[in-house]
A and B are shown apart, each in its own frame.
Chain A
Amino acid sequence: MIATLIENARIVDPEAGSVTEGHVLIEKGVITEITAESGEGLRARAAPENRIDANGKVLAPGIVDIGVKVCEPGERHKESYKTAGAAAAAGGVTTMVTRPDTDPAVDTPEALEFIRRRAREVAPVRVLPMAALTKGRAGEEMTEIGFLLDAGAVAFTDCDRPVRDTKVLGRAMTYAKALGALIIGHPQEPGLSAGAAATSGKFASLRGLPAVSPMAERMGLDRDIAMVEMTGARYHADQITAMRALPALERAKNNGFDVTAGTSIHHLTLNELDVSDYRTFFKVKPPLRAEEDRQAVIEAVRSGLIDVISSMHTPQDEESKRLPFEEAASGAVGLETLLPVLLRLYHSGDLDLPTLFRALSLNPSKRLGLESGRMAKGAPADLVLLDPDKPFILDRFKLLSKSKNTPFDNARLQGRVLATFVGGKAVYRA
């Protein structure tokens, strides 16, 4: 029996909201002991070469990242399961929940099977695929939700293309509800947001960029919540980024609807002014918001109103970004930078470690019905060991993703992953 002992760690328990010093024993891929007492009895259970001295560094449940784009099938030159998996492992992400907005879209059980096979063959971390809600993400006919669930789809989403036709959405939600499937929406009023590259306001006007009001997000969310009320579906909003959308989310939760929400690392740590002189690596969807929105979103993560933080990992090659801002592709890679960048909010005193890992690991696991995300006996040993204080300057060409489109190139960051464990096995060692 292979056992691993991680000694002398600061252990983050997001359920208890605590950070305590102690030791964690892993047997058969599962956490079997968490204790503050270091006895020879405990040490004897792991062979000397399988004892890791954490030296007071932080041990936390591994990240479950909802909304990762891996560009297979279709655009493997941007990202493959191999490179995305390596980047995830290096970033402390133990489960990638992948998006279906590939080319073609993941909208059949056969496509889903392809992804699961590719992931099994080459990805060192767990991969849980999401499937499209409508065929071809065209918003016209629902996909084979039942077959896709059987094939292993953990959620259904058309990603950044909200289903315009409320009748189609209503039917899909009603059908999904009967099967207990989770629907992930992108709250955005598509008429208002068409063609937008920035958030409307003084900055976008000065730069002459086509812009969308943050109100479009609230309108999209209002609509989706009304549809949830109508159908009783389980719903998660992929990214809430605007202050004005938060009261609607709060009302929905207070009314007892089965609604949760996420936000992205970019909207927590950047604002619209970072676009500066048309820097296309800062073009994301929805566009970066005003500083007051960023502050409101941080507060919502702290209070628990926003449940989940995602990297929204979206690889783009250099050619897609070396274009005028309006024409450049949206999105940024984030698997590897999610944790170090998010630690900015820890160092600034905005969010403590249990709150961070509640949004990174515990809540996404709970939402998807997974055993992971917890620091508890019997939970899978999906863990990340990190040094939250180690400073470094990010060099985008050193990222393991095939695409290097990060807005954090040359950023001064503090915090590095030392090791990542999936099912007790070290998949990354710094």
Chain B
Amino acid sequence: MRFDQRHLLGIEPLRPDEITTLLDLADRYATLNRSRQKRSGILSGLTQINMFFENSTRTQASFELAGKRLGADVMSMAMEASSLKKGETLIDTALTLNAMHPDLLVVRHPNSGAVDLLAQKVNCAVLNAGDGRHEHPTQALLDALTIRRAKGRLHRLTVAICGDIAHSRVARSNLLLLHKMENRVRLIGPPTLMPAGIGEFGVEVYHDMAEGLRDADVVMMLRLQKERMDGGFIPSEREYFHRYGLDAEKLAFAKSDAIVMHPGPMNRGVEIDGTIADDINRSVIQEQVEMGVAVRMAALDLLARNLRARPNEVMA
């Protein structure tokens, strides 16, 4: 069992065995989370700061709960409203917080690469809670754990990722993770929502749901961000739902035991039909939320262990 990372900035730097290590630990935390006594003191005495430069409810709550269940002192800051408005730069904000000696820093930022930049300037462990269109590693890890629990394995599965791939950090992280674990990845969506150079990613690209979903084990829907509508990426919501929204008819092309996933928050009737989302036999959306807390506990735990292994540098 090895996990050699100082930060969790993305899926890209992780090795397959590190992913397995993290998921195995998260599985144990999932069991803890279902028991009456949910608390562990493993992060006792450590300070965790959540800095969200972009609105978030579920990810922030999930990280906060994860830290608290492990006994850390957790502080959450909505950065939109604070010093950035006064003209302070991202790096100055980071250095200010760094001077308060946090051990774990959870950061979400609207610019790709901003969390990497910040990680270079602080001496605590940094967890990326989503940066621009780049990566959202804990989301991919919780998706992986959900798939592994539902399917009994995390390899040789056919996973269809559907919707706005171009603007989605969730899609990028999932793509990288599923590749590392040797799955077959299909991307389905209108060509305007596919990133450039997609042909070089080693994935199958479909613009038609019926073809793309054929014999899929996992159907992963992405949220259609409303702001994309203004950019003219798609003609209208109703045409999008008609062609790319997941309903029973389209789901019938996938395997009969295919699971349906969504990172939330959902736009019912835009990318997913409400009855599919609520179908407890197909939808694992609630399980994804549950695994989110477990995966984040595992990530915090592993990074904290690596902190202790390097005491001088950290305490300097």
Contacts and interface: CB of A to CB of B under 8 A. Distances in A.
Given A278-B113, A278-B117, A326-B111, A208 B132 contact: yes
Interface string B113-155: 1101100000000000001111100000000000000000000
Nearest to A278: B113
Contact of A208 (B90, B117, B133): B133
B89 A202 contact: no
Contact of B112 (A209, A213, A322): A209
Given A323-B89, A324-B109, A327-B111, A278 B197 contact: no
A206 B200 CA distance: 11
Given A207-B134, A208-B112, A209-B112, A323 B90 contact: yes
Given A324-B111, A325-B112, A203 B89 contact: no
B169 interface: yes
A408 to B, nearest CB: 20
Give chain A's interface secondary structure class: loop
A208 B197 contact: no
A200 B200 CA distance: 12
B196 interface: yes
Contacts of B131: 208
B91 A277 contact: no
Contact of B197 (A202, A319, A325, A327): A202
B168 to A, nearest CB: 9
Contact of A205 (B12, B109, B196): B196
B195 interface: yes
Interface residues of B, number: 25
A201 B196 contact: yes
A203 B198 CA distance: 10
B108 interface: no
Contacts of B111: 324-327
A43 to B, nearest CB: 59
Contacts of A208: 112-113, 131-135, 169, 172
Contact of B172 (A206, A325, A326): A206
Interface residues of A, number: 21
A204 B113 contact: no
Contact of A277 (B113, B169, B201): B113
B169 A205 contact: no
A211 interface: yes
Contacts of B196: 200-202, 204-205, 211, 213
Interface in A254-313: 277-278
Interface string B21-50: 000000000000000000000000000000
Given A322-B91, A323-B90, A200 B113 contact: no
Interface of A: 200-209, 211, 213, 277-278, 319, 322-327
23 contacts: A200-B196, A202-B197, A202-B201, A205-B195, A205-B196, A205-B201, A206-B12, A208-B113, A208-B134, A208-B135, A209-B112, A213-B196, A278-B112, A278-B116, A278-B117, A322-B91, A323-B117, A324-B109, A324-B112, A324-B113, A324-B117, A326-B111, A326-B113
- 4 residue pairs, one from A and one from B, having the closest CB atoms: A208-B134, A278-B113, A208-B133, A324-B111
